């Protein structure tokens, strides 16, 4: 199989998609061409006062039919082509389309008067398009073939090597046997084709070089980002060492190996140990998230949805009690044995983030409801509250990096606006869906609230 794709573009999805779009555009254009041909055959005598011989009429009918047949074939098979440079791919389809179109165009030129035909201008158009998408050696071969075929048609007609098909009513006098006219048209046509191909192909090469450079820069940026992530991983991992040591010392003291403790002191130490546990858990979270971004991968295991939901709720219950927010949990699964596969740790982080936001931004004496349910082949987690809600005009931006709703910024100054963006990344990596509604079903006067729904595939 002829390899036409440059190495830098082999895995560039946008490169492949651009070729597919061009192929589809030409398929649609070909349908319009067939339509115009049939309209011309029906109306040429009535509106244009042009007469066609029986041979010309039949030839145009056959040409239009052939174009329609191979166009339908291209339209059908294009969807099954893979983006594989070592197999038959969309670029090979472009070449095949161009070959068929040039053959049909040359046939139309022949049956519409050869050197007197206005249709040969479309050959130049095809050379321009081919120069932009095909490698130089391919398009130069096409250009040579087109010039040779056109010269063969015009010179063959001049020497009466085959029948000349003049369109009656189009020109008052035919020039196909005027030596100076035939020679000048052929020379000009050849020069235009050559100059067009050289210039268009040169421009295309320059554009491809720029695209290659851009692709190279993107690769370097990705490498730099990975290096930065590795650096962060190293620093954060080192932070665990003193915290683990502190955690161990607190255990020794709390287990009273060094003597009895005053109740007040013991309570403070228990609280300090709890805070050190939270710090270690946060570090583990940062390590896990950084690893996911660096490796662009997730671990897969089967887990119980209720288990991670309750664990996520327990994380935020103390803070909820401080704000007198009531957290309610409902397991509405039709089958309580249903489990899902995915990264248990990341799904819990996603749920914890949604519950944490509901508690953090909720009003005093508010309500937060967490529900698990299943429908068809999906398992659903729903987190609803009667908090400040999300302004309708800002709904489209809610999952963007660094975005924070305007009403939230007025209430709480801290926050980077990355939480929901990261939640969506986690759910996307699990082939799931995340949606939201605001106002929520728990809305109250001046408390519109928000409902977030995560749906994960069961199978």
Is the Cα dihedral 399, 404, 408, 412 positive or negative?
A: positive
Q: How far is CA 425 from the centre of its chain?
A: 15
419 in Cβ contact with 357 (< 8 Å): yes
Q: Examine residue 371 and state whether it is found in any structural domain, yes or no.
A: yes
C-alpha distances out from residue 415 to 54, 85, 406, 410, 421, Å: 79, 46, 13, 12, 13
pLDDT at 184: 93
The greatest distance separating any two alpha carbons of the chain, rounded to the nearest whole angstrom, comes to 120
Asked if residue 56 and residue 197 are part of one domain, the reply reads yes
pLDDT band at 8 (very low <50, low <70, confident <90, very high): low
Q: Give the integer Cα–Cα distance in Å for 244 and 37.
A: 81
Asked if residue 399 and residue 259 are part of one domain, the reply reads no
300 in Cβ contact with 341 (< 8 Å): yes
Residue 33 makes CB contacts below 8 A (sequence gap 6+) with 67
Neighbours of 378 (CB within 10 A): 16
Q: Give the integer Cα–Cα distance in Å for 73 and 25.
A: 15
pLDDT at 413: 44
Which has more confidence, 195 or 348?
195
Q: Which SS3 state, helix, strand or coil, does residue 51 take?
A: strand
Q: Provide the CATH number for the domain around residue 364.
A: 3.30.565.10
* DSSP symbol at 382: E
354 in Cβ contact with 383 (< 8 Å): yes
- pLDDT (average), residues 251-256: 79
| Number of structural domains in the chain | 3
% of the chain beyond a pLDDT of 90: 23
Q: Give the integer Cα–Cα distance in Å for 275 and 139.
A: 70
Asked if residue 267 and residue 401 are part of one domain, the reply reads no
Average pLDDT over all residues of the chain: 82
Asked if residue 306 and residue 280 are part of one domain, the reply reads no
Decide which of 295, 315, 346 is a domain's last residue: 295
Q: Examine residue 228 and state whether it is found in any structural domain, yes or no.
A: no
Q: Which residues are bridge partners to 330 per DSSP?
A: 371
- To the question of pTM greater than 0.75 for the whole model, the response is no
Whether residue 225 has pLDDT greater than 80 = no
What torsion, rounded to 10 degrees, do the Cα atoms 353, 354, 355, 358 define?
A: 120
Q: Examine residue 229 and state whether it is found in any structural domain, yes or no.
A: no
pLDDT at 394: 80
Q: Which residues are bridge partners to 434 per DSSP?
A: 454
Asked if residue 16 and residue 49 are part of one domain, the reply reads yes
Whether residue 289 has pLDDT greater than 50 = yes
Q: How far is CA 65 from the centre of its chain?
A: 36
Decide which of 257, 279, 295 is a domain's last residue: 295
Q: Which structural domain, as residue segments, surrounds residue 258? A: 234-295
Decide which of 271, 295, 319 is a domain's last residue: 295
pLDDT at 447: 86
Whether residue 257 has pLDDT greater than 80 = no
Asked if residue 144 and residue 48 are part of one domain, the reply reads yes
pLDDT band at 389 (very low <50, low <70, confident <90, very high): confident
């Amino acid at each position: 199989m002829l390899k036409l794709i440059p190495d830098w573009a082999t895995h560039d999805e946008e490169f492949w998609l651009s070729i597919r779009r061009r192929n589809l555009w030409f398929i649609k254009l070909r349908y319009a061409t067939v339509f115009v041909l049939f309209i011309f055959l029906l109306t040429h005598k009535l509106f244009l006062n042009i007469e066609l011989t029986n041979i010309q009429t039949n030839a145009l009918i056959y040409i239009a039919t052939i174009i329609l047949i191979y166009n339908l074939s291209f339209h059908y098979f294009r969807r099954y082509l893979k983006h594989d440079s070592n197999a038959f791919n969309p670029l090979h389809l472009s070449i095949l389309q161009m070959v068929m179109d040039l053959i049909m165009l040359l046939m139309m030129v022949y049956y519409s008067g050869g050197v007197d035909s206005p249709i040969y201008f479309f050959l130049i158009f095809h050379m321009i398009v081919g120069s932009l998408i095909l490698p130089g050696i391919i398009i130069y071969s096409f250009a040579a073939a087109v010039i040779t075929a056109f010269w063969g048609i015009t010179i063959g007609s001049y020497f009466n090597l085959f029948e000349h098909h003049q369109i009656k009513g189009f020109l008052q006098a035919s020039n196909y046997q005027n030596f100076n006219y035939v020679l000048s048209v052929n020379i000009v046509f050849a020069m235009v084709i050559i100059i067009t191909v050289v210039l268009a192909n040169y421009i295309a090469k320059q554009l491809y070089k720029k695209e290659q450079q851009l692709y190279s820069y993107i690769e370097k940026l990705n490498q730099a980002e990975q290096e930065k992530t590795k650096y962060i991983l190293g620093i954060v991992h080192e932070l665990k060492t003193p915290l683990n040591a502190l955690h161990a010392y607190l255990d020794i003291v709390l287990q009273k190996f060094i003597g009895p403790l005053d109740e007040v002191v013991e309570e403070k130490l228990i609280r300090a140990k709890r805070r050190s546990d939270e710090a270690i858990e946060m570090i583990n979270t940062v390590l896990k998230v950084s690893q996911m971004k660096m490796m662009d991968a997730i671990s897969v295991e089967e887990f119980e949805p209720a288990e991670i939901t309750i664990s996520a709720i327990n994380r935020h219950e103390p803070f909820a009690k401080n704000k007198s927010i009531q957290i309610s949990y409902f397991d509405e699964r039709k089958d309580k044995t249903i489990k899902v596969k995915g990264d248990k740790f990341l799904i819990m982080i996603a749920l914890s983030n949604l519950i944490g936001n509901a508690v953090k931004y909720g009003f005093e004496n508010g309500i937060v409801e967490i529900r698990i349910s299943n429908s068809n082949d999906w398992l659903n987690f729903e987190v609803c509250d009667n908090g400040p809600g999300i302004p309708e005009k800002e709904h489209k931006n809610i999952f963007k990096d660094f975005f924070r709703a305007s009403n939230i910024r007025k209430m709480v100054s801290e926050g980077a606006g990355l939480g929901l963006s990261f939640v969506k990344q986690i759910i996307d990596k699990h082939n799931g869906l995340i949606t939201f509604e605001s106002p929520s079903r728990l809305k109250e006067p001046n408390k519109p609230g928000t409902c977030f729904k995560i749906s994960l595939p069961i199978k």
